[in-house]
Structure 1
């Protein structure tokens, strides 16, 4: 991700001695994203990813690292956290919590076909089922409580038409969250940020999901909606590609069938997923933090997606 906390080769050489990874020969900052400081590192034992957490605390982090370990042990393709010699998954670096995880093979598929979407859908369903018995409960920290506290912060930066859209959608989503259909939705740990750049493919083979640091306990359908809103759209317009949507949903449904309550909640949930990322991009765009290599995302992208989800019915769940 963006580098807020620089780490030199000398810093790494000293710090990594506590891990069973041998000598570190290189470190390179990763330029995508805006939450944590991330680096590719190479050691005598291979390539890994080092993350320094800029917002998440030592108390919050066990959820994410233990969830990844739980999924990896359940044969879900995710990066495996590396413990230090004392068995700790989280250790301080420059007075901030840090962790090392294995690096997945392949590269991100930024122009997905229906076959890629099907692979993502099937793996997402497997992930939800595998995480169902995960014992740590932590809420989605970018859920509706965060939306409520963040809306007043960004309103002053917005044009009147955008303000009306945001306030109207918040009113709609608060009503949706109080509905019986919403209350009946299956839930558990979710990824919550499964965009194209958080999934690796080696050719047509899906090699893993990564970047679980927005994960939390929420409805599984929200996770599906977030994923569809990125993997199955025309990027310029936000319009859904029916063939990709159906491929992803059918593959998910074959592993974990959708419930009747989920079928009722599908269109509002697509809107909720669009709102969540429009709101976070508004915040990050107008209230950025200083960082090396920071590339803010365009809030208008998810505004267009939200408007499209309001205006046009999506393919129904199988």
Structure 2
């Protein structure tokens, strides 16, 4: 993530004494993303990731950290939060909440093939099922309520065409959320930000999902749509690559079968997933926060994707995937 809060090795040394990881030997910032300050830290026990939370507070963080611990304990490949000597997963550093998690092996796959998409689909379905008995409930903080409150804040920066698109889509999504189809969708804890740079691979083998700090309770189908809209597209045009789409959906369905309601909601949810990231990127672009190494994402990328998802009403989950008993 971007570095909003600087941390030196001298800062880290006394703070690290509360963790069973030995001395901190090196620290380096991670220059991607826009929400938190993240660092790789080398310790006497190995390499870990330190996150300082810039927007989330101590009351919100147990959901994310305990969810990761819950998933790791159930065999889902995610970073495991490290507790301090008092059993706390989140402690203050420079006056802000901070946590240490295990570092995943491998690297991000930025040019995925169908085999990579299938791996992601399988693990995403496993994650959804494993989180069913997670007892803490927190809404998706970048869900519909956030969209409704944020759209008015950015309209002044948009051209007439973009303003109309944003107003039309928030009206569509608000209405869709009231339908029986939407209300029938299965839900639970979701990652909500499972882009290519948040998954690690060793060759064709998936080694883990990370960056759960947009997670929340939402429909599982929204999580699938977010993932499809990044993993299964031509990056330049935003067009879906159906070979990758099919690989991911088939793999997901083999673990957690899609329902008929999800088939009916698929195109609307692809639009919702595109709209969420177009809106957040517009907001971050026009209302930026100061940070070292911060590079705002291009809002135009998800605007293109949203327009495509609106203009292709035949998009649907392949009906063959809905053949399993409901």
Whole-angstrom CA distance in 2 between matches of 1:300 and 1:172: 20
Query: Where does residue 140 of structure 1 map in the other structure?
Result: 140
CA distance in 2, matches of 1:184, 1:236: 35
Match of 2:81 in 1: 81
2:137–2:217 CA contact under 8 A, matched in 1: yes
Write the deviation string for residues 60-95 of structure 1: whole angstroms up to 9, x where unpaired. Answer: 000000000000000000000000011000000000
Listed one character per residue, the Cα deviations across residues 12-36 of structure 1 (whole Å, up to 9, x for unaligned) are 1111010000011000000000000
Match of 1:221 in 2: 221
Give the whole-Å Cα distance in 1 for the aligned partners of 2:107 and 2:245: 22
Q: Deviations over 1:296-317 (max 9, x none)?
A: 0000000000000011133524
Q: Secondary structure at the match of 2:17?
A: helix
SS, match of residue 81 in structure 1: coil
CA contact (8 A) 2:228 2:245 kept: yes
Helix, strand or coil at the partner of 2:207 = strand
- Equivalent residue, structure 1, for 2:34: 34
Give distance in 1, aligned partners of 2:179 and 2:57: 33
Cα deviation 1:265-298 (Å, max 9, x = unaligned): 0000000000000000000000000000001000
Could you tell me which residue of structure 2 aligns to residue 178 of structure 1? 178
The equivalent of 1:45 in structure 2 is 45
What is the aligned partner in structure 2 of residue 314 from structure 1?
Answer: 315
Does structure 2 conserve the Cα–Cα contact (< 8 Å) formed by 1:105 and 1:207?
yes
The CA deviation string for residues 91-149 of structure 1, in whole angstroms up to 9 with x for no partner, is 00000000000000000000000000000000000000000110000000000000000
What is the CA–CA distance in structure 2 between the aligned matches of 1:282 and 1:248, rounded to whole Å? 28
Question: Normalization by structure 2: what TM-score?
Answer: 0.97
Q: Distance in 2 between matches of 1:137 and 1:23?
A: 36
Q: Distance in 2 between matches of 1:116 and 1:62?
A: 31
Q: Secondary structure of 1:218's match?
A: strand
Query: Does structure 1 retain, via aligned residues, the 8 Å contact 2:263–2:316?
Result: no
Alignment partners' CA distance in 2, 1:175 and 1:141 = 19
Distance between the aligned counterparts of 1:308 and 1:192, measured in 2? 21
Contact map agreement 1:3 1:36 (CA 8 A) in 2? yes
Aligned to 2:110: 110
The alignment status of 1:58 with 2:58, answered yes or no, reads yes
Question: Corresponding residue for 1:264?
Answer: 264
- Which stretches of structure 1, 4 residues or longer, exceed 3 Å deviation after superposition? none
- Check the 8 A contact 1:69/1:80 in 2, yes or no: yes
Q: Distance in 2 between matches of 1:315 and 1:202?
A: 32
Q: 2:94 aligned with 1:97, yes or no?
A: no
Q: CA RMSD in A?
A: 0.6
Question: What is aligned with 2:231?
Answer: 231
Please give the secondary structure, in 2, of the residue aligned with 1:291.
coil
CA distance in 2, matches of 1:314, 1:131: 28
Residues 1:289 and 2:289 are matched in the alignment? yes
Corresponding residue for 2:191? Answer: 191
| Equivalent residues of 1:245, 1:315 under 8 A apart | no
User: Gapped runs of 5+ residues in structure 1?
Assistant: none
CA distance in 2, matches of 1:227, 1:22: 37
The aligned residue for residue 152 of structure 1 is 152
In structure 2, runs of 5+ residues without a counterpart are 322-326
Note if contact 1:142-1:276 (Cα within 8 Å) is conserved in structure 2: yes
Q: Is the 8 A contact 2:267 2:316 kept in 1?
A: no
Query: Matched residue of 1:62: which SS?
Result: helix
Counterparts of residues 242-257 of structure 1 (less than 5 Å)? 242-257=242-257
